A and B are shown apart, each in its own frame.
Chain A
Amino acid sequence: MILLQQSPAWIDLDPTAPPDLLGAFLICLLTLSIFSFLYRDNPFYKLAEHLFIGVSTAWYTLEFYDSGVKKALLEYVPEKVHALHDPALAAATEMGGYPVTPGWALAWRMGAVALSLMLLARLVRRDAWISRWPLALIVGIYAALKMTGETQARLVQQIRETMVSLWSADASAVTIAGNLVLVLGLVCVLVHFLFTFKRGRTLAGFSRVGVIVLMLAFGARFGFAVLGRIALLIQRISELSSYGQPDYSMGGRGWVATLLTPPWLVGGLIVLVLALAALSRRGEPEPPAA
């Protein structure tokens, strides 16, 4: 989304600055390395893949640490200890909006500290019995949260939204037909998933209609999946082409300047290396393609 307004620097760590040249080369190299997997597995792809795993693991670790450990424990505990001696801070201490003393807030949070230490016992022994306590707590809380939320939002509300008038005075034939399809289709799909009754003719008939509705829905899902994947591909091509602008060129004019931009230089290098490797492998049986 950042439009180029000045020539890029070789490297610029300022996130508000235009993309730098080193960054452009790196993006093109990594993108085309991943795409090279479509030809065959190769060292460019392997390097990019392992770099991705390393960097993404580190990123997620940093974010989870920041939100779940640093803010919730490393900053929270000293803050509450400080509040023990500061009446103004003590008066503002609350849990879920309910006012509590800093002592109570600290005591409760120590529970989380104790459970975290129990969980870390897994580092010593994978099946450490004490690590089951925090897992049990997580399971219980998530089960309760999901149970109440799903029942209200999906069971109750969805049934309520279905039990509405099928027609009105000013509704068109298409709208009425659509409402009928909606209600009958819903009932038929639910009947299809009833396995506790023996399937007689009636039930089988409803179930067959349910299967038809499901197939149409899955087909639609497939169509949307294609849409999503192609959109991702177009965005990658768009980003590569943005680094093919003259501002990123290493020199020259016209089409020479275009060829000396990061996507073309990097792409040329990868194609050259893979072509040389293919020539050197001539005569050997081909492994299965990607």
Chain B
Amino acid sequence: MAAALAFDRRWIYLGLGLLITGLYAFGSPEELPPAAPVQEYYDAIEKLPEGSIVMLSADFDPASAAELYPMFYGTLHHLFRRNIRVVGVCTWPAAPPFSREAFRSIAPQYHKEYGKDWVELGFLVGDDVAMGIIGQSLRSAYPNDALSKAPYDSFPLLRDVGDSSRGIAMLITISAGFPGILEWIPQLCTRYDVPVLAGTTAVQTPSLYPYHPRPLLGYLGSATGATQYLQLVAPGTPALVPVREENQRRMVAQGWGHLYIVALIVLGNIIYFRSRRRAA
């Protein structure tokens, strides 16, 4: 058994690498049935009245962008398509470029005007403290915006938000860890009664279960949730079709990757039990 398990682990790496690469290269997109929380996430945005103001928080970095950026991208398309006004904030220092890229590429497609339909406020340092400041007074948190550095009250959208978070109809956070949804809930959602939706990484998804369905109305968990959501949003949004297909293609490789890991668990245990029987 020692010999069987002591073989070079780089063969396991190679096997995984070749499997994922091959299946990504030759796989074709597959439809996934949406899970209930994903459908609730979609429905919650669909139910928002036109002209509502939503705070969209980018709380991730490049390490988690693989799972989260498709969620952020799809959500922004969805919000603009529904004529929801969006205030963009970030509590992770590595998030602003992703947020900026998404807003810059998506807003013009819907002829959305900066200052009236969307505003980017940027990164605020402090984790929980930043969320506490935002919850109490968005104007105190962001005296100026991130793009043009103009004062808060010079934007019609922010004048409509007003001072406190009561002007925000909903918080949507795409979060990778700390700080994220688990900090937004105490600092903003339960304290100031702001409804919340979340998109999160696979690692954090189990932690969301206690908060669903209250205060968390719906959520997208992991790359699976992202793909299921894109399937719901893409019809009626041509720009999202290639993004949806790319994610569906990735899920094929994902599935075989899982089978590989399960096979490794089974194989490792078979070798272990056989060697134990031999030793006995």
Enumerate 16 A-B pairs (CB-CB under 8 Å) in ascending A order: A1-B102, A2-B105, A68-B125, A97-B164, A154-B186, A224-B203, A227-B223, A230-B258, A230-B261, A231-B66, A231-B67, A231-B250, A233-B257, A235-B66, A289-B8, A289-B9
A16 touches B104 (CB 8 A): yes
B-chain residues with CB within 8 Å of residue A230 when the two chains form the complex: 20, 253-254, 257-258, 261
Answer whether residue B41 sits at the interface, using C-beta atoms and an 8 A cutoff.
no
Partner of A145, one of B128, B140, B221: B128
Closest 10 CB pairs of A and B: A149-B186, A228-B202, A235-B66, A63-B93, A153-B186, A231-B223, A230-B257, A227-B202, A67-B125, A224-B202
Answer whether residue B63 sits at the interface, using C-beta atoms and an 8 A cutoff.
yes
Complex CA distance for A289 and B12, rounded to whole angstroms:
12
B224 touches A237 (CB 8 A): no
Complex CA distance for A157 and B17, rounded to whole angstroms:
44
A interface residues (Cβ-Cβ under 8 A, vs B): 1-3, 15-16, 38-39, 59-60, 63-64, 66-68, 71, 75-76, 79, 92, 94-97, 141-142, 145-146, 148-150, 152-154, 157-158, 161, 217, 220-221, 224-228, 230-238, 241, 289-290
Complex CA distance for A66 and B96, rounded to whole angstroms:
12
B-chain residues with CB within 8 Å of residue A289 when the two chains form the complex: 8-10
Say which one of B30-38, B49-57, B131-139, B269-277 lies at the interface with A: B131-139
Q: Looking across the interface, which residue of chain B has its beta carbon closest to that of A16?
A: B104
A-chain residues with CB within 8 Å of residue B253 when the two chains form the complex: 230, 234, 237
B-chain residues with CB within 8 Å of residue A152 when the two chains form the complex: 186, 190-191
B8 touches A64 (CB 8 A): no
Q: Chain B, 94-124, contact with A by CB distance < 8 Å: what is the 0/1 string?
A: 1011001110110000000000000000111
Complex CA distance for A67 and B64, rounded to whole angstroms:
22
Given contacts A15-B101, A97-B139, A153-B185, contact A39 B10 (CB under 8 A): yes
Answer whether residue B238 sits at the interface, using C-beta atoms and an 8 A cutoff.
no
B254 touches A231 (CB 8 A): yes
6 A-B pairs besides A66-B123, A92-B153, A149-B128 with CB distance below 8 A are: A15-B100, A60-B93, A68-B126, A149-B187, A225-B203, A231-B202
A-chain residues with CB within 8 Å of residue B66 when the two chains form the complex: 231-232, 234-236
Give the secondary structure class of A's interface.
helix
A-chain residues with CB within 8 Å of residue B245 when the two chains form the complex: none
Partner of B128, one of A60, A68, A146: A146
B-chain residues with CB within 8 Å of residue A79 when the two chains form the complex: 143
Answer whether residue B246 sits at the interface, using C-beta atoms and an 8 A cutoff.
yes
Q: Looking across the interface, which residue of chain B has its beta carbon closest to that of A38?
A: B13
Q: Looking across the interface, which residue of chain B has its beta carbon closest to that of A158?
A: B210
B-chain residues with CB within 8 Å of residue A1 when the two chains form the complex: 69, 73, 101-102, 105, 243
Given contacts A66-B123, A224-B205, contact A71 B257 (CB under 8 A): no
